[in-house]
Amino acid sequence: MMKDGDKMLKRTAPLIVLLTMTFSLCLNSYADIKTDIKINNNTYVMTYVFNGTLTIYRNNINKTNNNIMSIAPDFLSVDSKGELITHKLTHTFIEAMHEKGIKVMPYLTNDWDKASGIAAMNNADKLANQIKAVVDEYNLDGVNVDIENVSDQYRTQYTYFVKRMNELMPKKIIAVAVAANPYGWTQGWHGCYDYKALSENCDYLMIMGYDESYYGSEPGPVASAAFTEKSIQYALKYTTADKLVLGIPFYGRYWKKDAAGDYKGGGGISGIDIENLMKNYNTVKVYDNNTQSAKIVMNIKQTDNFPTIWGSTVLTAGEYIIWYDDLKAIKFKMELIDKYGLKGIGSWALGQESDAVWDLYSEWLNKVNLLDIDENWAKELILECVDLGWMVGRTKTAFEPDKPLTRAEAAAILVRICNLQNEAMEENFSDTRGHWAEKDIRICRKYNFLRGYEDGSYRPNNRITREEIAEICNRMFVYSGGIDYQSKSYDDVNNDAWSFEAINKLTENGILTGYPNNKFYPKRNVSRGEAAAIFIRSKGFGTRTNLLTYNGGYQNEVISVR
């Protein structure tokens, strides 16, 4: 895992060796006892926490807008013999996190030291038992294995170690931090991670999606679009999306121009430090759409106050290039998580990010990111319907506005609009038992919003027509009166049609419209986008929530849905 300050330099030599070696491309249930806290869209959110006091950790966690489900703090490491060393462990801190609903899964590190990592693999059984004892004593929720810089020769031992911990702690969460591997390397430290075998013996893999550029490399992104997406694609060859968490960097890297005009360095810099530099120094920022990364060119003058980063490193006069993930870059990676349906998102490391990051997390986690409505005529009405909780996407990223609305979907929407989710249900239809919308359909039957067919069926997957949606809305909403329902509005809707009154009433109230040729086309299917528009236009009217036959009419209890 990435370490700031001088610890970052440990990766320089191994990475240079790695990039010059020959590589070959790879060919291509714990659900009832292991549970993670979820938020609205079931995306898992974890972050690493290191190099600070417990008070600092608490303060940083308090800034996250309650978006963190799990933390991996720096409580566990291995010594030169591969035995466990503990740091900062206190019952008080762990209990405080549990009170916030946050799981505590310390990461086990060898701090990039190859010898201690190898010793740990050779000491797998004893080390696993030592970890179990600590997990039990402090009521920890699991462990995040972050042993790095161990060669491919220890691939089998690495898997055995993870498997052994899973066997010893079947009710705890075991995660493994694995190297991002966009090129399918099978040698070097990347080769020690057997994605397939590891995923079969742990709860999830945390892809360390950073360090594409590093100390000693040419200036470049910490994690470009191609680097990140190819790393996801590589992992999906060997495991499933629900086993993958994508780690993103909360830090950047900087290079300084030397006398020969070359940029040297690549040291780490936190997102907070980058933000402060942009406020106080001469910087020019550009966003590189090809790599989906931000780049800053900065000039520090001899007359400037030299800035300090990481609390101790002083940047002297000169020209610098900084690459990092700004909010746009982070949003791009969030969209990749949505695109591939990954389990969630991780980050290195808490406290390095700007405060605005957590607003972005809140927006992403608590709103559906619908990618297919930008060009749709009903976009704003769809978004309003989604914000109200009346409609949802068919997936997290797709609303499918042009697809027909089904009778099952209509039932679910009507129940949400009237907030009847906890209502007792009416008797079932013959063909809805076990259907995902069974409860909603039975509630709608109770309130007479939707009716079945003469044969006792409901046909939940049938499509709703334009005249059917008119009749449904007429039963459900209480529209304005004073309308002559006998006058014919459309050439293709006869006065004796069963839907005649409903179509006319909704037309007079501006809920439904016909076509330029004065036709309504009552038998055409209603699209999901049209349904959203109809329901939002009806929002200002009350709804009937007690439709009982009474002296040949309706006894109406009207509630507001404004």
| pLDDT tens-place values along the chain, 562 residues long | 444 443 333 333 333 333 333 323 332 322 223 333 233 357 899 999 999 999 999 999 999 989 999 999 999 999 999 999 999 999 999 999 999 999 999 999 999 999 999 999 999 999 999 999 999 999 999 999 999 999 999 999 999 999 999 999 999 999 999 999 999 999 999 999 999 999 999 999 999 999 999 999 999 999 999 999 999 999 999 999 999 999 999 999 999 999 999 999 999 999 999 999 999 999 999 999 999 999 999 999 999 999 999 999 999 999 999 999 999 999 999 999 988 989 999 999 999 999 899 988 988 887 666 888 988 999 999 989 988 889 988 876 789 999 999 999 999 999 998 888 877 777 788 898 888 888 899 988 888 888 888 898 999 999 999 999 998 888 888 876 655 555 667 888 888 788 888 888 888 888 888 888 999 999 999 999 999 999 999 887 877 664 433 223 333 333 333 2
We report the CATH number of the domain holding residue 75 as 3.20.20.80
Residues 62 and 120 in one domain: no
Residues 288 and 428 in one domain: no
Q: What is the pLDDT of residue 205?
A: 98
Q: How far is CA 507 from CA 122, 469, 484, 500, in A?
A: 77, 12, 12, 11
The answer to whether the CB of 363 falls within 8 A of the CB of 397 is no
Please give the angle made by the CA atoms of 198, 29 and 197, to the nearest 5 degrees: 15
Q: How far apart are CA 222 and CA 326, in angstroms?
A: 11
Residues 499 and 515 in one domain: yes
HEC string of 364-394 equals: HHHCCCCCCCCCCCCHHHHHHHHHCCCCCCC
Residues 88 and 110 in one domain: yes
Domain that holds residue 95: 69-178+186-207
Last residue of a domain, one of 366, 391, 413: 366
| Partner residues linked to 269 by β-bridges | 252
Residues 166 and 219 in one domain: no
- Alpha-helical (H) ranges within 367-480 are 379-387, 407-417, 438-446, 466-476
Per-residue burial over 108-134, b = 16 or more CB atoms within 10 Å of its CB, e = otherwise? bbbbbbbebbbbbbebbeebbebbbeb
Residues 75 and 50 in one domain: no
In a domain, 124, yes or no: yes
Residues 403 and 546 in one domain: yes
Q: How far apart are CA 42 and CA 436, in angstroms?
A: 18
User: Exposed, middle or buried by CB within 10 Å (0-12, 13-18, 19+), for 516?
Assistant: exposed
Residues 415 and 502 in one domain: yes
Grouping H, G, I as helix, E, B as strand and the rest as coil, residue 136 is: helix
CA 539 to chain CA centroid, nearest Å: 31
Residues 79 and 58 in one domain: no
Last residue of a domain, one of 332, 366, 400: 366
In a domain, 13, yes or no: no
Q: How far apart are CA 109 and CA 150, in angstroms?
A: 12
Residues 61 and 144 in one domain: no
In a domain, 15, yes or no: no
Cis peptide before 115 (omega within 30 of 0): no
Known catalytic residues are 148
Structure tokens at 26: 């790879």
Residues 356 and 228 in one domain: yes
27 DSSP 8-state letter: P
Which residues, including other chains, have CB under 8 Å from residue 116's CB and lie 6 or more apart?
78, 79, 80, 82, 110
**Tally of domains within the chain:** 3
Which residue from 72, 142, 79 is spatially nearest to 110, judged by alpha carbons? Answer: 79
- Alpha-helical (H) ranges within 84-190 are 91-99, 114-122, 124-138, 155-168
In degrees and rounded to multiples of 5, residue 535 shows phi and psi of: -70, -40
Q: What is the pLDDT of residue 38?
A: 30
Q: What is the pLDDT of residue 550?
A: 27
N- to C-terminal Cα distance for the chain?
50
Residues 155 and 213 in one domain: no
Last residue of a domain, one of 366, 398, 419: 366
In a domain, 45, yes or no: yes
Q: What is the pLDDT of residue 409?
A: 94
In a domain, 10, yes or no: no
Q: What is the pLDDT of residue 546?
A: 45
pTM greater than 0.85 (yes/no): no
Q: What is the pLDDT of residue 273?
A: 97
User: Exposed, middle or buried by CB within 10 Å (0-12, 13-18, 19+), for 504?
Assistant: buried
Report helix, strand and coil shares of the chain as percent, to nearest 5: 35, 20, 45
In a domain, 507, yes or no: yes
In a domain, 169, yes or no: yes
In a domain, 17, yes or no: no
